[in-house]
Structure 1
Amino acid sequence: ARHYFQSFPQMLKIKGVKFETRNRRPPADPINAVLSFCYSMLCKEATVALHQVGLDPFQGFLHQPRYGRPSLALDLMEEFRPLIADSATLRVFNERRLTRDDFFFAGIGCSLKRASKKTLIAAFEQRMSEELTHPVFGYKASYRRCLSLQARLLARYLTREIDQYPGLETR
């Protein structure tokens, strides 16, 4: 993750918004604030997808189970972070839908203003609605549908209906 986020600034085309490293609780800059917000929305989507197939989102295997932590939802969303959350983050800044003026700065933290949250949610929803060809099933599906399909494949893997979990590959 550290190496991935070291290359993140090269993907940003906007000036005036600084990103040095991934941080959270609280996020120290606008990029980290948007990443955290997008990851929260993606976690909610993964939780819904897992509930749809009857899996407990709190019983993970990559992320350590901890009280109140949806570990399996965090596991499922890993393969979707760059495709959805990181992509939406880059898009809102590179298309200048969000700028430094869209954030509150207090102490060491940074957070989105109310109207800015609406802008970000719209960008996230737009990304979730975009379609790709699912590599296992071979038909076009939205990212939201692909998240559900991956949850279904994970359930099939955990019940030993399939021998291997096929991760989502887009290229």
Structure 2
Amino acid sequence: MKKSIYVFTNGEMRRKDQTLYFEGEEGRKYIPVEDTKEIHIFGEVNVSKKFLEFCSQKEIILHYYNYHGYYSGSFYPREHLNSGYMTVEQVRHYLDEDKRYRLARLFVDGAGDNMLKVLRYYQNRGKEVGAVADRVESALKDAEKTQDRPMLMAAEGHMREAYYSAFDPILQNKNFRFEKRSKRPPLNRLNALISFGNSILYTILLSEIYKTHLDPRIGFLHTSNFRRFSLQLDVAEIFKPIIVDRLILKMVGKQMLTKKDFDQKLNGILLSENGRKKFVAEMDERMKATVKHRTLNRKVSYRRLLRMELYKLQKHIMGEETYKPFVSPW
């Protein structure tokens, strides 16, 4: 399985013959080209034209994050799986309001079902989240009654608001209070974790979209306007609860992250460099972890689940098979 590499320190990346290396304060470290799928760059890293050309040749994507740890852009190699037919069909689904709404509904349905899976998991472990689960279920039913995307987005917002209110009774940690959703900048530690985790998931999905015929610029739930990419935002809605949120609740619940892993800024709170390293290490392990797939009757990694979801979406757009969002069985 190819690896994701995360670079937090400052330095430079260069090509030497048929290999790549990073050189920073701790010296030179070589990058296993054939085993690398993407590089996430958090530090100030200089790259050369030869380095980028080699990355493109080897289909290695570079994801860049700003000083605060937020995604800022990607070096996306020349698209080798471009499909004119798929692009045309994807645009047709976007322009046909009925087709677009149906796909948007499915993304919201999948997100709601997986939120409920998380809540029932903790309810079965003695956490008082039954009332919250009922509110999420009610909001999900409201979403099913909507007639257009604006109404759907409003119902989805109410559903997510109810869902996040369960974080406090689950964690019962005075240093990690949710209060309300805040971002850019997050106003507390829990919101900082949610924003950072979501950002990592978005970039991982972008890498997976690159391996399909889909165009990441054309989303269905999220508007394709001046935003560069939106499709990964759609698909991420399904997986945020079972990948990002479960990981956050685990790391905070087991004190793998504490208040010492955050920095107080003038207008908000952000993960420190050490906190980011801890989180991405666990996220990387999460993506490699395998689970039993009921349909295939074999184990697949969470990363593979993301790719499979995109393949299902492709088949739906081509009219081969109606899309059904992944719902966690565990």
TM-score bucket of the superposed structures, by smaller chain: over 0.9
What is the CA–CA distance in structure 2 between the aligned matches of 1:124 and 1:71, rounded to whole Å? 22
Mean Cα deviation higher: 12-21 or 76-85: 12-21
- Once the two structures are TM-superposed, the CA of residue 105 in structure 1 deviates from its matched residue by 0.9
What is the CA–CA distance in structure 2 between the aligned matches of 1:22 and 1:43, rounded to whole Å? 18
What is the CA–CA distance in structure 2 between the aligned matches of 1:2 and 1:168, rounded to whole Å? 22
1:39 and 2:184 matched: no
In the alignment, what sits opposite 2:218?
A: 59
1:28 and 2:187 matched: yes
1:165 aligned to 309, 323, 329, which one? 323
1:98 and 2:257 matched: yes
- Once the two structures are TM-superposed, the CA of residue 14 in structure 1 deviates from its matched residue by 3.3
Aligned residue identity for 1:112: L
> Which whole-Å deviations, capped at 9, do the CAs of 1:124-166 have from their partners, x for residues lacking one?
112112222234333211110100111111111111111x112
In the alignment, what sits opposite 1:137?
A: 296
Identify unmatched segments of 5+ residues in structure 2: 1-159
The higher radius of gyration belongs to 2
Aligned residue identity for 1:165: Y
What is the CA–CA distance in structure 2 between the aligned matches of 1:41 and 1:50, rounded to whole Å? 14
Aligned residue identity for 1:40: S
User: Is the contact between residue 14 and residue 96 of structure 1 (CA under 8 Å) also seen in structure 2?
Assistant: no
Aligned residue identity for 1:167: P
Aligned residue identity for 2:191: N
Q: Secondary structure at the match of 1:133?
A: strand
TM-score between the two structures when normalised by the length of structure 2: 0.50
1:74 aligned to 218, 229, 233, which one? 233
Aligned-residue Cα RMSD (Å) equals 1.4
What is the CA–CA distance in structure 1 between the aligned matches of 2:204 and 2:242, rounded to whole Å? 14
Structure 1 or 2: larger strand share? Answer: 2
Q: Secondary structure at the match of 2:250?
A: helix
Which of structures 1 and 2 has the larger relative contact order (alpha carbons within 8 angstroms, sep 6+)?
1
In the alignment, what sits opposite 2:277?
A: 118
Mean Cα deviation higher: 79-88 or 63-72: 63-72
Q: Percent identity?
A: 32
Identify unmatched segments of 5+ residues in structure 1: none
What is the CA–CA distance in structure 2 between the aligned matches of 1:16 and 1:150, rounded to whole Å? 36
Aligned residue identity for 2:274: A
What is the CA–CA distance in structure 1 between the aligned matches of 2:323 and 2:167, rounded to whole Å? 28
- Once the two structures are TM-superposed, the CA of residue 99 in structure 1 deviates from its matched residue by 0.9
1:3 and 2:162 matched: yes
Decide whether aligned partners of structure 1 residues 67 and 134 sit closer, same or farther in structure 2, where only a CA change above 3 A counts.
Answer: farther
Count of aligned positions: 170
What is the CA–CA distance in structure 2 between the aligned matches of 1:137 and 1:157, rounded to whole Å? 19
User: Is the contact between residue 129 and residue 143 of structure 1 (CA under 8 Å) also seen in structure 2?
Assistant: yes
- Once the two structures are TM-superposed, the CA of residue 55 in structure 1 deviates from its matched residue by 0.7
What is the CA–CA distance in structure 2 between the aligned matches of 1:75 and 1:146, rounded to whole Å? 15
